[in-house]
A and B are shown apart, each in its own frame.
Chain A
Amino acid sequence: MNKEVIRNARTGEEYTLIKHPTGLDIYVWKMDNFSTTHALFGTKYGSINTKFKTKNDPDFVTVPNGIAHYLEHKLFENEDCDVFSLYAKTGASANAYTSFDRTCYLFTTTSNVYESLEILLNFVQSPYFTEETVRKEQGIIGQEIRMYDDNAGWRVFFNMLQGMYHNHPVKIDIAGTVESIAQINADLLYKCYYTFYNLNNMVLSIAGDVDVDKVLEVCDKCLKQNENIELETAFEDEPETVCEKEVVQKLEIAMPMFNIGFKAKPESGLAALKAEIETNFVLSLIANESSEFYKKLYDEGIINSTFYSEVFCGDGYFCSIFGGEARDPRLVCDKIVEEIDRCKREGLDKKRFNTIKKAYYGSLIKGLDDAENLATIMLNNGMEGLSAFDRIEAVADCTFEDVTNRLMKQFNTENVTLSIIDPVNGREEK
């Protein structure tokens, strides 16, 4: 077994990476004197992975939308009991989530860590689906989908993705639709399970005041040998342009909500992390609360304090988003496009670069107190073949020139999608 301690001189922090013989990568961050332990057992499998192939498949297989999320729900049911009832005996608080490119099972606990870990490893490795139990879940997930149908923050984001992407499955709602989940059956769930829940495609990540050797003892006992099935995933080709420039929907809300997305070319591995960091610098320089642009729009009442910007990226997709609530989202969009064009012509504000770097660095330091954050960073970075410290180092190494280049490369003001949620009853303007 290969065991390596990864140290970071800048922060004085360290964690351990173990390459387990079963194919699983195990990350452990020992947090002395903390009571909380957070554990994540995740697979590199999310809503976008609907097309795949292993060495046992003659050709690529396509499965219904929403199946990764459905599988997450169903794994919580063992043959003889519900998984929550097992955790109930250890006191751990358990949950799971499915994102675009991951499914993670987790627990947080302050006692019985190793017993809880045993439960986690065992249930994720023991699928049990019957036609009847699969059918039962359709009511619950159907209600979950309906709940999100009313959620304006969620809708404004997905409508933007649908406008932005022609083919990439990131445009599909994570839970699928009531129609797509109706096609899911036990056989399909098993098919996806045995394709993606292979330990070679998974990561275990634990942060807390734990003993690495005891963690490994539990792993040795519970992990099952997995054959490498040479998993490949594929996406349809995605054009560089956006599909639609504007998407509008009406919901019961008070003020219009918007997401403005700039579509850019995705990268992978360390290049993707650097692209994300540099783009974050660009966004802060252009439009964070200490920028002149923010102040101007704010003082004119065009935006309010709900205004934010963020990078959204993953396997095969990358975009920069400006969002919030505004009376006139189209005006906000025009102003942002104008400002980006101006910055491209006149350059970014170099004086603010070092201050923003300090702030970025500070926010990463603050995250070191949080077991959940540390476990998540190790897992996310580990799945991309990166170290948990790569982000903090890349922030420290980032230069103003990198950021300027990123602005020129990543912000094509032709490739913009504006998504708006309008109130059902338009308010009278005063």
Chain B
Amino acid sequence: MKISYKREKIADGIHFNSIRNASLKTNSIVVNLVSPLSEETASLNAAASYFITDSSSDYPTLVDISSKLEELYGASLKGTVCRSGDNQFISIICSCINDRFAFEKENVTVELAKVLLSCLTDPHLDEKGFYEQDFALKKQELLDDIDAVINEKRSYAVQRAGKVIYKGEPAAVSVKGERSSAEKITNSSAYEQYMTMLKTAQIEVFFVGANEPDSIKEFICSGLSKLERDYKGDCSSKLSAIKAEPEEFTDELEVAQCKMVLAFKSDKADLRAAKLMNAIFGATPFSKLFLNVREKLSLCYYCSSNYNDLKGVITVDSGVEKANIEKAKDEIIRQFELMQKGEFDEKEINEARLAVINSLRSVNDSAAGLVNWYSGQIFRNTSFSPEDEIEMLEKVTKEDIVEAAKSFKLDTVYVLKGKESAENE
């Protein structure tokens, strides 16, 4: 399939990325506002992401904007906040049908771009900042969401573990900030920080669709080039510091199942070798962790690993009975040591490689996959296509993988334990 990718500078630290895939029936526009994670701004930025997509000065209420989107054949427009490495991404993600499917062949995509731009650059304000009445609800929602992290025990454990794994680094900052700082936000402080973000953030606009996005690009460029800018260009991530001795940390909650998260760190692993090492170790259902910790020893329903190359960290997360915590931990570490000793064969390497390549080949099929991929390239200062990446993965040898495994060291053991009272229920 022919995919064309083009990146153009619109203004200082602002780029328009267009990705064309002739097969797609959906058009997508994504705007990423990227800045370093920090305790001071995390919740302020998050609050803005909650506010800006539910209204704008053209569409002052949620009913106005939702009705407009319904009119555009159920176009979607969502604000999200997430992390990548040491950065916080505030994103507006939109999609709509290709105009050719519209009943009257209306210009659905350009209309959607107009709504997007009005949300981004022309929010609904009052004399102090974001329109107070609506903002108060959004702030409450942010607080509720910060509190609600506890609802999903698996992700809660991973987030709590992150605090220990990345202690002292921007990556340790909760992506929506702490409750205490979120409580202090006002409509004027959030607006002020939003204006700062528009000035200083790295802004990456993506269009993904079947047609040349000329009219959309023109429209968005004219809107964004008017922004006052003071871009610092400081959005690189640093590898995580390795602790001298592994740190053990335990939380207690009333849960039926305990969660355990282990982190291994490296400050010099080769990206592709580490990717394959991670796949052999724990990222597939034929990995060492799945076959041994789950299938052979029946210790867990899930036990899998994940590699964060921007931080140089492999995390293993698992759900396990209290009585089996030590057993599971020993087995996970033992399996990692086997990787370091090179106790895996060509078959395992080739199967892991095939699985990684398989997922790379599917990148081109969806807007989310494409945006994610090319955004990742930008923050790694590379411009490889998924096909280039596949070519490099083909060249990785067993020696490279062992070398990568050896460079990792156990750094953190986090356990979320059930309280005694929950044991007998």
- What is the interface of chain A, defined by CB distance below 8 A to chain B? 11, 31-36, 82, 84-85, 87-94, 108-111, 136-137, 139-141, 143-144, 146-147, 149-153, 251-255, 257, 288-292, 294-295, 298-299, 301, 304-305, 325, 352, 355-356, 358-363, 365-366, 368-371, 424, 427
Chain A residues near B73 (CB, 8 Å)? 358-359, 361-362, 365
Find A92's partner among B22, B74, B151, B358 (CB 8 Å cutoff).
B358
Q: A85-B286, A90-B354, A257-B151 known; 6 other A-B pairs, CB under 8 Å? A: A33-B22, A36-B361, A143-B321, A150-B257, A358-B70, A369-B366
Q: Which stretch in B12-20, B94-102, B214-222 binds the other chain?
A: B94-102
> Are B97 and A36 in touch, CB under 8 angstroms?
no
Report yes or no: A355 in contact with B71, Cβ–Cβ below 8 A. yes
Instruction: Provide a sorted-by-A list of 21 A–B residue pairs whose CB atoms are within 8 angstroms.
Output: A84-B285, A84-B286, A90-B354, A91-B351, A137-B298, A147-B256, A147-B302, A147-B319, A150-B256, A151-B153, A153-B151, A253-B150, A255-B147, A291-B63, A301-B140, A352-B67, A355-B67, A362-B97, A365-B73, A369-B365, A424-B254
Residues of chain B within 8 A (CB-CB) of A301 are 137, 140
| B244 interface contact, C-beta 8 A | no
Let me know if A91 and B355 touch, CB within 8 A.
yes
Number of A-B contacts (CB under 8 A): 187
Min CB distance A321 to B, Å, is: 18
* B284 interface contact, C-beta 8 A: yes
Contact A365 B25, beta carbon cutoff 8 Å: yes
Which of B72, B133, B148, B357 has the largest count of A CB atoms less than 10 A from its CB? B148
Contact B319 A362 (CB under 8 A): no
Chain A residues near B62: list those with CB within 8 A: 289-290, 294-295, 298
A87 surroundings in chain B (CB, below 8 A) = 286
Q: Are B150 and A252 in contact (CB under 8 A)?
A: yes
**B367 to A, closest residue via Cβ:** A369
**CB < 8 Å neighbour of A32 from B23, B26, B255, B294:** B23
Q: B364 contacts the other chain (Cβ, under 8 Å)?
A: yes
A299 to B354, CA, bound (A): 51
Nearest-CB residue, chain A, relative to B149: A254
Residue in chain B with minimal CB distance to A137: B298
Which residues of A are found within 8 Å of B149, using beta-carbon distances?
A: 254
Contact A254 B24 (CB under 8 A): no
Q: Which residues of B contact A352 (CB under 8 A)?
A: 67, 70
Write out, one digit per residue, whether chain B residues 276-297 have a CB within 8 A of any chain A CB (1) or not (0): 0000000011100011001100
A143-B301, A152-B151, A362-B96 are known contacts. Are A304 and B137 too (CB-CB below 8 A)? yes
For A143, give its contact among B97, B257, B286 (CB under 8 Å).
Answer: B257
| Distance between B95 CB and nearest chain A CB, rounded to angstroms | 7
Shortest 9 CB-CB distances between A and B: which pairs? Answer: A362-B73, A359-B74, A91-B354, A110-B361, A139-B298, A254-B147, A290-B66, A362-B74, A88-B351
| B74 CB contact (under 8 Å) in A89, A140, A363, A368 | A363
The one of A36, A93, A252, A254 that contacts B254, using a Cβ cutoff of 8 Å: A252
B359 at the interface (CB under 8 A from A): yes
Q: Are A143 and B319 in contact (CB under 8 A)?
A: yes
* Distance between Cα atoms of A315 and B133 in the complex (Å): 46
A358 proximity list for chain B (CB < 8 A): 70-71, 73-74, 103
Q: Please tell me if the beta carbons of A295 and B63 are within 8 angstroms of each other in the complex.
A: yes
For A290, give its contact among B24, B70, B148, B358 (CB under 8 Å): B70
B291: chain A residues within 8 A (beta carbon): 82
Whether B144 is near chain A, meaning CB under 8 Å from some CB there, is yes
Q: Whole-angstrom distance between the alpha carbons of A365 and B205 in the complex? A: 24
Which of A87, A255, A369, A371 has the most chain B CB within a 10 Å cutoff?
A: A369
> How far does the Cβ of A367 sit from chain B's closest Cβ, in whole Å?
9
**For chain B residues 109-158, which have a beta carbon within 8 Å of chain A?**
133, 137, 140-141, 144, 147-154
Within the assembled complex, what's the spacing in Å between the Cα atoms of A84 and B70? 43
The yes or no answer to B362 lying at the interface (CB within 8 A) is yes
Q: Residue of B at shortest CB range from A86?
A: B286
A294 to B366, CA, bound (A): 32
CB-defined contacts of B286 to chain A, threshold 8 Å: 82, 84-85, 87-88
Q: What is the number of residues of chain B that contact chain A, defined by CB distance less than 8 Å?
A: 67
A111 with B361, Cβ < 8 A, contacts A147-B301, A362-B74 known? yes
Known contacts A290-B70, A298-B62, A298-B137: A94-B285 contact under CB 8 Å: yes
Give bound CA distance, A141 to B302, whole Å.
11
Known: A108-B362, A140-B298, A366-B26. A252 touches B1 (CB 8 A): no
| Interface check B410, CB cutoff 8 A | no
Q: How far is the CB of B359 from chain A (nearest CB, A)?
A: 7
Nearest Cβ in chain A — how far from B51, in angstroms?
A: 11
Chain A residues contacting B241 (CB-CB under 8 Å) are none
Q: Is the beta-carbon distance between B301 and A144 smaller than 8 angstroms? A: yes
Bound CA–CA A11/B98 (angstroms)? 12
Chain B residues with Cβ below 8 Å from A288 are 66
Query: For A254, what are the chain B residues with a Cβ–Cβ distance below 8 Å?
Result: 144, 147-151
Contact of B144 among A32, A153, A304 (CB under 8 A): A304
Which chain A residues border B24 with CB–CB below 8 Å? 369
State the Cβ distance, A300 to closest chain B Cβ, in Å: 9
Instruction: Enumerate B59-112 residues with CB–CB distance to A below 8 Å.
Output: 61-63, 66-67, 69-75, 95-97, 101, 103
| Chain A residues with CB below 8 A from B396, complex form | none
Please measure, in the bound complex, the distance between the C-alpha atom of A248 and the C-alpha atom of B69, giving whole angstroms: 37
Q: Which chain B residue lies CB-closest to A91?
A: B354
Q: Which residues of A contact B361 (CB under 8 A)?
A: 35-36, 110-111
A91 touches B298 (CB 8 A): no
Among B61, B256, B364, residue most surrounded by chain A Cβ atoms (within 10 Å): B256
Chain B residues whose CB sits within 8 angstroms of the CB of A294 once the complex forms = 62-63
Which listed residue, B66, B103, B364, touches A35 by the CB 8 Å rule? B364
Query: Does B164 reach chain A (CB closer than 8 Å)?
Result: no
Contacts of A108 in B (CB 8 A): 362
Query: Complex: how many Å from CA A51 to CA B95?
Result: 45
Q: Within 8 Å of chain A (Cβ to Cβ): is B253?
A: yes
Chain B residues near A82 (CB-CB < 8 A): 286, 291, 295
Q: Is the CB of B253 within 8 A of A252?
A: yes
Q: B365 and A35: CB pair below 8 A?
A: yes
Tell me which residues across on chain A come within 8 A of B154, comparing CB atoms: 147
Shortest Cβ distance from residue B301 to the other chain A in the assembled complex, whole angstroms: 4
Chain A residues whose CB sits within 8 angstroms of the CB of B401 once the complex forms: none
Interface membership of B300, Cβ < 8 A: yes
Across the interface, A110 reaches (CB within 8 A) one of B133, B285, B362, namely: B362
Cα A152 to Cα B302 in complex, Å, equals: 19
Q: How many Å from the CB of A16 to the closest CB on chain B?
A: 19
Residue of B nearest to A356 (CB): B70
* Contact residues in A for B103 (Cβ distance below 8 Å): 358
Most buried by B among A253, A288, A366: A366
Closest A residue to B23 by CB, please name it: A33
Whether A365 pairs with B148 at a CB distance below 8 angstroms is no
A289 to B22, CA, bound (A): 33
Whole-angstrom distance from the CB of B208 to the nearest CB of chain A? 10
Knowing A31-B23, A304-B144, A325-B144, the reply to whether A36 touches B365 (Cβ < 8 A) is yes
